[in-house]
Structure formats: C-alpha cells, structure tokens
Amino acid sequence: MENLNLRHLYYFWVISREGSIARASEVLDLAPQTLSGQLATFEGSVGGRLFSRERRRLILTELGHLVQSYADEIFELTGELSETLRSGPEDRPLSLSAGISASVHKLIAYYLLDPAMKLRRPVQLECRTGRTEDLLMSLKRKELDVVLTDRMPRAESPERFAVHPLSQSTISLFAAPALAEKLRPGFPGSLNSQPLLANATDAPYFQKLMNWFNLNNVRMNLVARVDDSALIKVFGRDGVGVFAAPTMIKDEVCRQYQVSLIASLDEVTDQLYAITRSRNLAHEGVRAICEVRERLL
C-alpha cells in the first residue's frame, strides 16, 4: 500500500473511540457525510473493512482492532510530544489547566496542586471546578491537563484515561460548636434524628458513611445536598446540620469555618485520584501532582 494517510488514520481512531460517525463528527467538527467518505477512502487504502454495523453501532472488525492498537500508540505518543513542546523552554511559564471536582474539598485541592506551583520554573495555573463527568469530557478534548476527583471514571466509559491514586484520608464529622458539644456524649447514638448535610450523595465516601450509619443503627435526617465543599461548611458553621470532611484537614476546617469536631470515623475513607489522558506523564506540572502521593498517603 502507499504511505499511510495519518489524517485518515486519526479520523478512524476518533470514530473507533466514539462508537459512531455521528458522535465522531461532533468531536472533529466535520459533516457526517464527509467523515463517512474519509473512512471509506481509508478502508480502501488498508484493503478491508474496519467496522461492521450492528443496529446503529459500529463494531470493530479483526482488522479494525489491529489498526486501532497501532493508532492508540501513535496518537498517545503524539499527544505526549504535543504536551512536551507546549511546555517550551524552562525560562518560559508552564501552562497548567486543572479540573477539580466540585465535591473535592478545596483545601485538599490546594495541597495537591501545591507541588506544581513550587516547580523551579514559573507556572500559569488555570483551575476549573465542576462535575467529574464534564471535566473528563474537557480532559478528552485536551482543554485540561489533569482532573482531580474523588471518583473513578465510569466502568462503561469508552475513554481510556489513566488513573493515578493520590491521597487517602479517613472521614470526620463536624458541626457548629454548640451542636457538636451536644452530640459528642453518647456518640454515635446521639446522631439519631439530627440534621445531616450531604456534599454529594453519589460520592463514594458518602455511600461508605451511609453504610457506617446503618451498621451503627444511626438514622440521621438529610436536610440539604450542597455540591460544593466550601459552601457546605458555611451551612455547617451556621448550625444547619452535621457535615463530613477528610480528617487530614480537620484543623484547617475547624479554624477557617469556626466549627468543631464531633468524631473521626476510622472505618470511612475518602480516596482522591488524578486522571490524565496518558499513563506517561510528559507534563512537568502534572507529574509533580501525581508524585505527591507518597507525601500525603
């Protein structure tokens, strides 16, 4: 065959990742008819069908799987090269775009980002908060360099992200001083029927907390869901209810929000992750964040 057309290979690769020409056309900003024609041309050049159709889905053929395996390596390497070149000379500022899940406590997010800010070269940091799913879409589009989150990507996600475990902390319960003082005697039975503030009910640590309540025959009254780690502490400070936060930042939480510790729950933990497009960390700032694991675990 003639020299491989890398643009056609890239179009095929995006289609294989998205699972349909319609979705791939949105990613590539091309008309579906144009993309379909480019795919047909590429199939002609490689000498066989790369997809078979099952209902409305495109399924990779044996040849398609073979080509995709090479394409994965090629475009992972080109992505790393692009990030390396984007970093530029050491005397130029390093651009770092980080996505932070709204449910991640901002004090911990600061600790995780801090190693990148302490690199020898200056760093221009851009932070974006939001839902993990939305941030991962931005990571996929190369709008972000890393996503800091408290949950793994969904198992059914077609994207191939690299997941780097970071810090793990037990969970503690906090409340306004008067409420905390009332609840410490007789803990955990004292929590029964007391108001509870949930940071995010789908967060992994929250499910563990609910299981701990059930095992200890505790029935709290969920009064609010506040999907922002700073705002929930403001509600807690004003006596609206009890809230949970990682034990590793308990002193800062109490000092900054004038709340008091009720108790620490050794059986309930919160795990944080850094998610990147590639296991090979070419970006110096992202590498510094991921290497913080040994210091925080």
Q: List, in sequence order, the alpha helices (H) in the chain.
A: 6-18, 21-28, 32-46, 62-87, 106-117, 132-140, 177-183, 204-215, 229-237, 250-257, 284-290, 293-296
175: three-class secondary structure by DSSP: strand
* Element housing 243 (H / E): strand 243-246
CATH number of the CATH domain containing 55: 1.10.10.10
CATH number of the CATH domain containing 137: 3.40.190.10
Single residue among 57, 85, 113 that ends a domain in this structure:
85
Note whether residue 1 is domain-resident.
Answer: no
- State CA 220 to chain mean position distance: 29
User: Is the backbone peptide bond immediately before 188 cis, with ω within 30 degrees of 0?
Assistant: yes
Note whether residue 115 is domain-resident.
Answer: yes
Note whether residue 220 is domain-resident.
Answer: yes
Same domain, yes or no, for 28 and 121?
Answer: no
Structure tokens at 107: 């004090």
Note whether residue 62 is domain-resident.
Answer: yes
- State CA 124 to chain mean position distance: 21
> What is the full per-residue pLDDT of the chain (297 aa) written as tens digits?
557 888 999 999 989 888 888 888 888 888 989 999 999 999 888 888 999 887 777 889 999 899 988 888 888 777 767 766 665 556 567 889 999 998 888 888 999 999 999 998 888 999 999 989 899 989 988 899 999 998 888 765 556 788 999 988 899 999 999 999 999 999 999 999 999 999 766 778 888 999 999 999 999 999 998 877 788 999 999 999 999 999 999 999 999 999 999 999 999 999 999 999 888 788 889 999 998 654 444
Same domain, yes or no, for 260 and 190?
Answer: yes
- How many domains is the chain built from? 3
Same domain, yes or no, for 95 and 239?
Answer: no
Q: Is 51 left (phi over 0), alpha (psi -120 to 50) or beta?
A: beta
Model pTM score: 0.67
Note whether residue 29 is domain-resident.
Answer: yes
Single residue among 63, 85, 107 that ends a domain in this structure:
85
Q: Residue 31 belongs to what domain range? A: 6-85
Single residue among 50, 85, 120 that ends a domain in this structure:
85
Same domain, yes or no, for 154 and 289?
Answer: yes
Structure tokens at 124: 């221009």
